[in-house]
Structure 1
Amino acid sequence: MYVGIDVGTSMVKAAAFDESGRELAVETRPVRLSLHDGFVEQDMEEVYAAVVGVLSALTAVVPGPVELAGLTGQGDGVWLVDDEGRPVRAAASWMDGRAHELVDQWLADGTFETVFRRTGSAMFPGCPGPLLAWLDRYEPAALDAAATALYCKDMVFQRLTGIRATDVSDASMPFLDPRTRRYDNRVVELLGLTHRRGLLAPVSDPLATGQARGEGLPSGTPLANGPYDLPACALGAGVTAPGDGLLIVGTCLASLVGTTDLDLSGEPAGLYISTDRAGYWLRAMPAMVGTAALDWVLSTTGVRHDEVDGLLAETPPGAHGVRVLPYFAPSGERAPFVEPRLRAELTGVCLESTKADLVRATCEGIGFAARHCLEAAGLTGSLAVCGGGTRSPAWMQLLADVLGRPLRVIEGEVGARGAVLAAAERHGVALDADAWTRPARVVRPDAGRAAHYAKAYEDHLAHLHGARTRARR
């Protein structure tokens, strides 16, 4: 069997596949986020214990040797570890907002734009540049005690194999030059981190490989590190050609489009993710909040997830005038624009509004945000969709209508699947990628509803323009 490990923000997963790509079993463990005053952190030991736990459970229920394992996980944030890969403090999550004032400063003085023009990375508060600069200013002892500032999957890889490394995809934000595929020391200098340059993990190009040391996986199991979850999902969904795209409807609403054109002009936003194929990038517009916005509305209104499809059927497109701008993250928004102080807005509500109106308006708002991101990323080809949101058939139909295009729905553990495909490529193991990435179904838009949403999308952009203006005051 082949094993894929996906270390997510709220859930750690391990999936076993056979040679044809059939999913044999999945084990999951939840992990907690600590949120307080804009700080969003995770306990690294809890995350690593969850990884070992899901791997141990998976190899117990699916007998037989593990031919190969691939690792992926959440990107960005700062995971400070010592020489052995053990934490020196809690990990700062990609959702963290503590460094927003630094981003505001860099937006004002031109540093933000300069970094984007050099690396294709539009910084946001939860990416390593601002977080490391904030820690250097307010918690220098933590950086002094650390050997490496890793990304999530890199911490797990070091603990499983003893190897200290990252890959070009994780390193893309914000220090990697996408042309040379090496760290840009001028960017490090611009962020005031030259004296911390040694904390950046070595970039392994191609992917780093190692052998498991017996925790979770049998000792000697070949393991490949990376890419991180967004490009891993692109591989798992079969998005490998220029112009084709992927929408991940998960905690983060991520839009990715394949490209061979490195265009660093235009409004600085999102990032270019380097891949194992030199000269091929993923133009990424990872909006901060996807299903997390709906989760908040459901918990606030007391609605269960299994009620969503029914509620979507109870109210028409437009939700009786209720509108939601779904920018719920404490660190604002990062794609397809950067506004650290932008917050969600709920308008058009009256005493006649229902829970169904609120749910539909939220799903529509997330759809409009996805359309904005995909257009900015340059989508011209087919569109695949994956993530937890795909479990709702009604929401998938709504998304197809809002986006005005067919959706290739990829089910199962897409990130873990992509991690295995990347590991197989790295180790020279021949797998049928078409079979591994075949969609479960295709959802096509309704022409009438798509026409309605095309007009509603223009109204959304106008509403968003006003919200961005207010956020800057």
Structure 2
Amino acid sequence: MQYLIGIDAGTSNVKAVLFDTLGREIRTEAIENEPIYVGDVGVEQNMSLLWDKIAVCIKQVVEAGPASKDDIAGIGVTGQGEGIWLVDEAGEPVQNAILWCDGRAVDEVAAITETRPEIGELLFKTTGSPPLTGTQMVLLKWMADHRKDVLDRAAHMLFCKDWIRYKMTGIFAGDFSDGSTSAILDAQTGQPARNVFKALGLEGYADLVPPVQASADVAGTLTDEAAAALGLNPGTPVIAGAIDVAATAVGIGAIGVSDVCTILGTTCATETFRHKADCNFGGPQTRWLKHAVGDLFMNLQAAMNGTPNLDWALNEVALTQDFDQIEAMIQDVPVGSGGVIYHPYISAAGERAPFYDPHARANFFGISAQTTRADLIHAVYEGMTLSIKDCLRGLDANAKVYLAGGGAKSAAWAQMIADALGVQTIISAGNEFGAKGAAMMAGIAGGVYAHFEEAKRACCFAEKTYLPDPKKTERYEKLYEIYVEIRKAMTEPWQKRAAFLK
């Protein structure tokens, strides 16, 4: 019997998952990730430690069975996107990776968007992605401005999954999905956006970008050294892979233009899909990146602020950490949480979708003496939900929204999203959708499935569907208007707060 391994290196956890060819999760091994926090806004990763954890997860999956190393048809890899992962000629890291959620490049973004807006426009229209603090192009500019001596030791500029694949295969490669997310590739050609590199004074670093392959192509095979460390056969194929948001979309079956994917994780990332010819690269409220499927691009609105809001609420507001008790507590709270509105911008890096403001911060509005803990917690759920609605303005009423990520386990949240958006939400069977999407792509590369549609038919099934309550949808429309009005009014106070804290 054939099996596939999917690797998902997230910000919070790294995982290796064994799947059968029907997409069933046979075995999952996970280890907590350990981002390194530098000052107030810096976030880094020890690249060697990350690989060590991935290797342990893969070896444990293989040793646990039921698949033997001879049964593994291929390995798919996905991981956190953006950031900058630099290695030298010998394949050794020149520094810690700087992650997608790092906020140090605020001045670089301001220089691109405000001081020389023509460069920001060129970058946006060429790559489809605007200049943001965690994108690789902007972090490359930050490195050139602040750590040029370190940058000049680098021979290759990778993303998280590329580093993992390199450690398995010894081959430097990239894929279109990761590169387009980070504004380093021309959206039309999939090759380095040399005009943007030149405009930013970075033309000498364009060759750090590795060769770009399609996500479901075999990028290399396990080396003898890697195979021995992982307990697998040398020569086992490893695909190019995709950024986690694209792999997750594949894993839940969002592979067509009528699909919408919302990932309820550390970020709340929303994805809608278009053929390349229909994409308005550089258009308002867009951030186009290449999907893993055919010529599709996804408009990614990846809000910085997702489930960490819930973590904070459970730690600081709730009297329990039990989600069943939390959902029972909030089930009778009406739309609007008794007049309390929560804006979920809890990240130290502010917010970037559907608006960019590094100074944005979370806040409650409308607390009174009658406000309860249940109101506050319900308002946190609603705040995250209205942030998703903010990212999906103009959503077709016939759309189907597939929910993924840890937050999709919450029935209360899934129903709230259906009510607020006015469309059905779908929970797919399974848990590890990023790893599953990567494994499905490995199956396509290995001939287990003929194409993405066949892989979806074999592996993707709906577990539960939530339908909207029209009366609640109407109430949420009114609440959303207030939510946006307050959000816009907070721009100046957020800036004054940041200046006060300096």
Instruction: Provide TM-score, normalisation by structure 2.
Output: 0.89
Residue in structure 2 matching 1:304, options 301, 321, 328: 321
Dislocated runs of 4+, deviation >6 Å: 376-379
CA contact (8 A) 1:97 1:125 kept: yes
Match of 1:281 in 2: 297
**Aligned-pair distance for 1:443?**
1.2
**Aligned-pair distance for 1:113?**
2.5
Letter in 1 for 2:309: A
Query: What SS does the aligned partner of 2:359 have?
Result: coil
Rounded to whole Å, the distance in 2 between the matches of 1:305 and 1:87 is 41
Match of 2:108 in 1: 102
Rounded to whole Å, the distance in 1 between the matches of 2:250 and 2:58 is 22
Residue in structure 2 matching 1:88, options 61, 73, 94: 94
Q: Which moved further from structure 2: 246-255 or 110-119?
A: 110-119
The 1:376–1:174 alpha-carbon spacing in structure 2 relative to 1, beyond 3 Å, is: farther
Instruction: Please list the CA deviations of residues 315-359 of structure 1 after superposition, one character each: whole Å capped at 9, or x if unmatched.
Output: 322111111111122222221222222222222223432222221
Task: Tell me whether 1:392 sits opposite 2:410 in the alignment.
Answer: yes
The 1:435–1:205 alpha-carbon spacing in structure 2 relative to 1, beyond 3 Å, is: closer
Task: Tell me whether 1:425 sits opposite 2:444 in the alignment.
Answer: yes
Residue in structure 2 matching 1:160, options 165, 168, 179: 168
The 1:276–1:388 alpha-carbon spacing in structure 2 relative to 1, beyond 3 Å, is: closer
Unaligned stretches of 5+ residues in structure 2? 497-502
Rounded to whole Å, the distance in 2 between the matches of 1:313 and 1:275 is 37
Query: What SS does the aligned partner of 1:257 have?
Result: strand
The 1:376–1:128 alpha-carbon spacing in structure 2 relative to 1, beyond 3 Å, is: farther
Letter in 2 for 1:78: I
Match of 2:52 in 1: 49
How do 1:314-463 residues align onto structure 2 when only pairs under 5 Å count?
Answer: 314-375=332-393, 381-410=399-428, 411-430=430-449, 432-463=455-486
Task: Tell me whether 1:212 sits opposite 2:222 in the alignment.
Answer: yes
How do 1:7-156 residues align onto structure 2 when only pairs under 5 Å count?
Answer: 7-35=9-37, 36-64=39-67, 65-108=71-114, 109-110=116-117, 111-156=119-164
Rounded to whole Å, the distance in 2 between the matches of 1:83 and 1:419 is 28
Rounded to whole Å, the distance in 2 between the matches of 1:408 and 1:364 is 19
**Aligned-pair distance for 1:423?**
1.8
How do 1:287-298 residues align onto structure 2 when only pairs under 5 Å count?
Answer: 287-298=303-314
Rounded to whole Å, the distance in 2 between the matches of 1:166 and 1:105 is 28
Rounded to whole Å, the distance in 2 between the matches of 1:191 and 1:293 is 36
CA contact (8 A) 1:5 1:71 kept: yes
Rounded to whole Å, the distance in 2 between the matches of 1:242 and 1:379 is 14
Rounded to whole Å, the distance in 2 between the matches of 1:196 and 1:380 is 45
The 1:409–1:299 alpha-carbon spacing in structure 2 relative to 1, beyond 3 Å, is: same
CA contact (8 A) 1:78 1:128 kept: yes
Task: Tell me whether 1:465 sits opposite 2:488 in the alignment.
Answer: yes
Query: What SS does the aligned partner of 1:394 have?
Result: helix
Query: What SS does the aligned partner of 2:254 have?
Result: coil
Q: Which moved further from structure 2: 108-117 or 179-188?
A: 108-117
CA contact (8 A) 2:21 2:458 kept: no
Rounded to whole Å, the distance in 1 between the matches of 2:194 and 2:241 is 23
The 1:346–1:217 alpha-carbon spacing in structure 2 relative to 1, beyond 3 Å, is: farther
Task: Tell me whether 1:263 sits opposite 2:272 in the alignment.
Answer: no
Rounded to whole Å, the distance in 1 between the matches of 2:282 and 2:138 is 22
Letter in 1 for 2:191: R
Letter in 2 for 1:219: N
Rounded to whole Å, the distance in 1 between the matches of 2:176 and 2:106 is 25
Q: Which moved further from structure 2: 163-172 or 324-333?
A: 324-333
Letter in 2 for 1:180: T
**Aligned-pair distance for 1:472?**
5.6
Unaligned stretches of 5+ residues in structure 1? none
Q: Which moved further from structure 2: 372-381 or 330-339?
A: 372-381
Query: What SS does the aligned partner of 2:183 have?
Result: coil
The 1:29–1:449 alpha-carbon spacing in structure 2 relative to 1, beyond 3 Å, is: same
Aligned pair count? 472
Letter in 2 for 1:67: A
Query: What SS does the aligned partner of 2:230 have?
Result: coil
Rounded to whole Å, the distance in 2 between the matches of 1:208 and 1:88 is 27
CA contact (8 A) 2:214 2:240 kept: no
Match of 2:499 in 1: none
**Aligned-pair distance for 1:363?**
0.8
Instruction: Please list the CA deviations of residues 265-312 of structure 1 after superposition, one character each: whole Å capped at 9, or x if unmatched.
Output: 532x45211134453211111111111222122222254152421232
Q: Which moved further from structure 2: 385-394 or 188-197?
A: 188-197
CA RMSD of aligned residues (A): 1.9
Instruction: Please list the CA deviations of residues 372-413 of structure 1 after superposition, one character each: whole Å capped at 9, or x if unmatched.
Output: 212268786321111100111112112211222111112311
Instruction: Please list the CA deviations of residues 122-144 of structure 1 after superposition, one character each: whole Å capped at 9, or x if unmatched.
Output: 12101111111111111112212
Query: What SS does the aligned partner of 2:434 have?
Result: helix
CA contact (8 A) 2:73 2:443 kept: no
Rounded to whole Å, the distance in 2 between the matches of 1:166 and 1:365 is 36
CA contact (8 A) 2:339 2:366 kept: yes
Rounded to whole Å, the distance in 2 between the matches of 1:264 and 1:150 is 24
Q: Which moved further from structure 2: 62-71 or 21-30?
A: 62-71
CA contact (8 A) 1:396 1:443 kept: yes
The 1:86–1:270 alpha-carbon spacing in structure 2 relative to 1, beyond 3 Å, is: farther
CA contact (8 A) 2:84 2:159 kept: yes
Letter in 1 for 2:219: T
Rounded to whole Å, the distance in 2 between the matches of 1:107 and 1:390 is 35
Aligned-residue identity in percent:
32
Q: Which moved further from structure 2: 49-58 or 102-111?
A: 102-111
Instruction: Please list the CA deviations of residues 166-198 of structure 1 after superposition, one character each: whole Å capped at 9, or x if unmatched.
Output: 100001021211111111101112222112222
Rounded to whole Å, the distance in 2 between the matches of 1:384 and 1:402 is 15
**Aligned-pair distance for 1:201?**
2.2
